[in-house]
A and B are shown apart, each in its own frame.
Chain A
């Protein structure tokens, strides 16, 4: 009996807003935003907090005291930042040395057992991290590699090789074989051709893979924890210790520092990753 009234209302208000699906969408978007940005907001607040006690919704004292503490040249943070960067750079170097020849070889269809070799580099990822790294740590004791920079770099490289091999195979596969032929045709030998023609063509993909390896190494925790500690302290290890001690300010600021390379990476990857290369991934 109230039909006429409803109709006039519907006419006034756009009918779209009354559909349940519209509100459902709103709720989902809000939830998603909360899930995505909630923890980050919390982290950001912690970085500028000096004191924050349990029942309060917001900190009682704001300030940059802990930033000074973190960026003090004598703090643990700058030391472990340096260690982290050193390990990451060396890991990238090791991965490139292995994956450039391996990626080129595996990009050739004529390579025997091609799929087998590629899967081989995935195997360490197939098992739970913890077991793999515990066993590596056990092995490394015999060689005296525990607690050394070399040991940590090896562990990080095993992890990084998965990315660098698979991406460099894709990078080398997406190069035009005719360009190689043209070079041989003009009198260049296979090595000259590789360094002057093939490598520059694959360089964007190799840079992308290096960035992946660099970031993975920078964020790596489990392996470093088992193999490196207590002598090697990287940023993630420091972050772990700080959080365990309840020092959320230091932990949050460290996390922010770790965020910087990731954002830089997003920008660079956007520039270097070609769609035609992505389509060759795993082929």
Chain B
């Protein structure tokens, strides 16, 4: 295992550039998640790393080797494919041992390595099964074992959990994470599921339209998104354009005229009915008055759509509320992600734009 270093990478199909100036470093033994919506270029990035998409600019280093112009078979970066791509005419053991057989390893050594990997991925006793006889979760583990068998410099996983059903997905995701910690492989995992990325990765790179929007630890990405796209993608789906020119909204700022894009999560919108009036207005960055439009049961709570003017805000609440109940929403400063109009950048410029009170908010952002 070695570290992976991507420098100014450009790649695409034909003349269409999918990836533009990607810079990313994966430290040895680290797992980075590439997170983004479909079509953002995350799978193309993996394919460029593995040599399936030609690199038109920039460099890729695996350890100290530059691999960007090598053919796929010389890169020593192995992939767990989304469809697993197991060979149906081979047994489990033949699938896992293939890479070693290619390297002309001795039969005894291949057998030893295969049984070692089978015990690592907990598939002992299945070595002579045909892969077509396995369940989805088992195939996934065979694919992982096959990719690890040749001790690659870097392991990349292309949406490894997307073909599994919800329950298996949860357990496999923990297994992969545990394995990664145990074996310490350098890896990149592609996913469109933010929860998956938060749970599995040491760091997350959010991709949008072929560019990396933000790289950081899961906590940074979740609590301090640096662009509106990241905030929105990480679940802060409530979006308000400030100023709203509406008395129902009140933002604690000394410069109410500053143009801002405000994002926050439904779980951070504290909902209060007129009976139980809220206490600390001071802490609240944003206060909204509105009426209940719809209330949906989510198991542990209710998601309530609140209508205020032309906006509909989602908020979590522990009780069911009937329609048209007047409510007050307050969003604490530290849960409010504010972005200014022009640069889309957050903290620095806005420190000047917004007042002391929102300094706290911006500091957080």
Q: Is A57 an interface residue (CB 8 A)?
A: no
Contact A185 B72 (CB under 8 A): yes
Q: Is A179 an interface residue (CB 8 A)?
A: yes
Nearest Cβ on chain B to A104's Cβ, whole angstroms: 17
Q: Is B83 an interface residue (CB 8 A)?
A: yes
Q: Which residues of B contact A200 (CB under 8 A)?
A: 87, 89
Contact B89 A182 (CB under 8 A): no
Contact among A181, A189, A196, A197 with B52 in the assembled complex (CB-CB below 8 Å)? A181
A186 to B74, CA, bound (A): 9
Q: Which residues of A contact B74 (CB under 8 A)?
A: 187
Contact A181 B87 (CB under 8 A): no
**A interface bracket (residues with beta carbon within 8 Å of B):** 10 to 19
A131 to B146, CA, bound (A): 57
Query: 8 Å CB contacts to A: which residues of B43-93?
Result: 50-52, 71-74, 76-79, 81, 83, 85-89
Q: Which residues of A contact B51 (CB under 8 A)?
A: 184
A200 to B87, CA, bound (A): 10
Contact A185 B78 (CB under 8 A): yes
Contact A181 B102 (CB under 8 A): no
Nearest Cβ on chain B to A184's Cβ, whole angstroms: 4
Contact A187 B99 (CB under 8 A): yes
A56 to B162, CA, bound (A): 75
Closest residue on chain B to residue A189 by CB atoms: B73
Interface size on B, residues (CB 8 A): 26
Nearest Cβ on chain A to B46's Cβ, whole angstroms: 11
Query: 8 Å CB contacts to A: which residues of B99-128?
Result: 99, 102-103
Contact A181 B85 (CB under 8 A): yes
Q: Is A278 an interface residue (CB 8 A)?
A: no
Given known A-B contacts A178-B81, A181-B52, A182-B81, A187 and B73 have beta carbons under 8 A apart: yes
Q: Is A201 an interface residue (CB 8 A)?
A: yes
A195 to B86, CA, bound (A): 16
Q: Which residues of A contact B86 (CB under 8 A)?
A: 182
Contact among A176, A185, A188 with B50 in the assembled complex (CB-CB below 8 Å)? A185
Q: Is B229 an interface residue (CB 8 A)?
A: no
Contact B83 A178 (CB under 8 A): yes
Nearest Cβ on chain A to B82's Cβ, whole angstroms: 8
Chain B residues at the A interface, C-beta cutoff of 8 Å: 50-52, 71-74, 76-79, 81, 83, 85-89, 98-99, 102-103, 146-147, 149-150
Sample (24) of A-B pairs whose CB atoms are under 8 Å apart: A176-B83, A176-B85, A179-B87, A181-B72, A181-B79, A181-B81, A181-B85, A182-B87, A182-B146, A184-B51, A184-B71, A185-B50, A185-B73, A185-B77, A185-B78, A185-B79, A185-B147, A186-B147, A187-B102, A188-B98, A188-B99, A197-B87, A201-B88, A201-B89
Besides the known contacts A179-B87, A197-B87, 7 further A-B residue pairs in the complex with CB atoms under 8 A apart: A178-B83, A178-B85, A184-B71, A186-B99, A187-B102, A200-B89, A201-B89
